[in-house]
């Protein structure tokens, strides 16, 4: 059936929320920070704040598009090309993230696939064993274990959950 | 319970979609065009296109923020202050709209209330008897009949449906 842009947005946001809520439960006993790769409008970042009130959150984006009241403090913000800021984050933070949410998709599937292939090993360096990656683009070549989406996910939006084996 | 920005966006879009889908069924036998007051990202406009494939659609906004592929043709687009473009639309189109969707809300409730009070009579002039208005801001002073939201609406987002009595 044809999905309107409104249908697509709802499917995307519902899938995101269901997967993030699921990951928060899965990671309750696993220490580590939370990385938001692709801050965008910071809606999801705000949701991560609510889900992980006691953790340190970091956000990555090329530039800031979010409303001021939602933008994280400068010290938690890595601005610029992911291919540069992710290694810089590793230098600063080391292997310390329990959850990485990477919404990096655009309408250019080929460019997205190249970006996903480039950043996946960088995310892997930042991710603690047992940590999880949630992303809108497949990252199947890093050796992470694929995790099935929760049953509640609407099923009409591609999304990927992975766990780094301990 | 605290709603994150992600929760709020989902509540808003779900409420919109459920109400618009409901209005499309209600208005199936009522001739007339469809007006989108507040084009924004044109996601809802795209949904209206799918719901009303055989009707003429018009969109109003201060300026265009939507991706090019979703923007309606120039002849269907009224750009500028609603207080000027709605009377101009009445001069051009007359009383001819079966459905008006007016998402005009901002974070400034007082300014929104003034805007709603100003534009409601302008919308009324454009609306055929029996036509419906769906809006994110109350417009209770024009004499329209308030229509309860469909049961399926999530109930955690303020939204308003009205019908102009025939």
pLDDT attached to residue B1? 66
Written as six digits, the tokens of B19 are 């109400």
- The pLDDT tens digits of the residues spanning B23-49 come to 999 999 999 999 999 999 999 999 999
What is the pLDDT averaged over residues B114-135? Answer: 98
**pLDDT mean across residues, chain B:** 96
- Residue A65 near residue A91, CB atoms below 8 Å: no
- Residue A71 near residue A64, CB atoms below 8 Å: yes
**pLDDT mean across residues, chain A:** 96
**Is the pLDDT confidence value at B166 over 90?**
no
**Is the pLDDT confidence value at A160 over 80?**
yes
- The pLDDT tens digits of the residues spanning B16-28 come to 999 999 999 999 9
Q: Which residue of A7, A8, A10 is the best one to mutate when testing the B interface, meaning the one whose CB has the most B CBs within 10 A? A: A10
Q: Tell me the shortest Cα–Cα distance from A104 to chain B, in angstroms.
A: 17
CATH of the domain at B56: 3.40.50.150
**Is the pLDDT confidence value at A1 over 80?**
no
**Beta carbons of B43 and A16 less than 8 Å apart:** no
What is the pLDDT averaged over residues B125-130? Answer: 98
Q: Which residue of B1, B2, B3, B4 is the best one to mutate when testing the A interface, meaning the one whose CB has the most A CBs within 10 A? A: B4
Lowest-confidence range among A9-13, A132-136, A151-155? A151-155
pLDDT band at A113 (very low <50, low <70, confident <90, very high): very high
Written as six digits, the tokens of A161 are 């959950």
Closest-approach residue (CA) in chain A for B6 = A43
**Beta carbons of B6 and A13 less than 8 Å apart:** yes
Q: How many domains does chain A have?
A: 1
- The pLDDT tens digits of the residues spanning B150-162 come to 999 998 999 999 9
Domain residues for the domain of A107 are 5-163
- The pLDDT tens digits of the residues spanning A34-70 come to 999 999 999 999 999 999 999 999 999 999 999 999 9
**Is the pLDDT confidence value at A82 over 90?**
yes
* CA-closest candidate to residue A48, choices A69, A65, A34: A34
Q: Tell me the shortest Cα–Cα distance from B24 to chain A, in angstroms.
A: 15
Cα separation, B128 vs A47, in Å, equals: 42
- The pLDDT tens digits of the residues spanning A18-36 come to 999 999 999 999 999 999 9
* CA-closest candidate to residue B32, choices B14, B48, B44: B48
**Beta carbons of B10 and A17 less than 8 Å apart:** yes
pLDDT band at B2 (very low <50, low <70, confident <90, very high): confident
Q: Spell out which residues of chain B touch residue A4, defining contact as CB-CB under 8 Å.
A: 43, 46-47, 49-50
**Beta carbons of A10 and B14 less than 8 Å apart:** yes
pLDDT attached to residue B113? 95
Closest-approach residue (CA) in chain B for A70 = B5
**Beta carbons of B47 and A9 less than 8 Å apart:** no
Q: How far is CA B154 from the centre of its chain?
A: 19
Written as six digits, the tokens of A51 are 């889900």
Closest-approach residue (CA) in chain B for A66 = B5
Determine the number of helices (DSSP H) and then strands (DSSP E) in chain B: 4, 7
pLDDT band at A2 (very low <50, low <70, confident <90, very high): confident
Pairing of strands A160-163, A127-135: antiparallel
């Amino acid at each position: 059936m044809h999905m309107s842009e409104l249908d697509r947005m709802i499917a995307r946001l519902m899938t995101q929320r269901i997967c993030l809520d699921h990951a928060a439960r899965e990671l309750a006993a696993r220490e580590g920070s939370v990385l938001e790769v692709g801050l965008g409008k910071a809606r999801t970042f705000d949701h991560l704040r609510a889900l992980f009130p006691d953790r340190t959150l970091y956000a990555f984006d090329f530039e800031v598009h979010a409303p001021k009241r939602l933008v994280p403090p400068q010290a938690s913000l890595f601005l610029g090309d992911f291919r540069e800021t992710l290694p810089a984050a590793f230098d600063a933070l080391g292997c310390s993230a329990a959850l990485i949410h990477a919404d990096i998709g655009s309408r250019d599937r080929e460019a997205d696939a190249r970006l996903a292939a480039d950043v996946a090993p960088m995310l892997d360096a930042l991710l603690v064993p047992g940590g999880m990656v949630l992303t809108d683009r497949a990252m199947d070549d890093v050796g992470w274990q694929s995790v099935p989406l929760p049953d509640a996910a609407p099923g009409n939006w591609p999304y990927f959950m992975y766990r780094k084996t301990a």
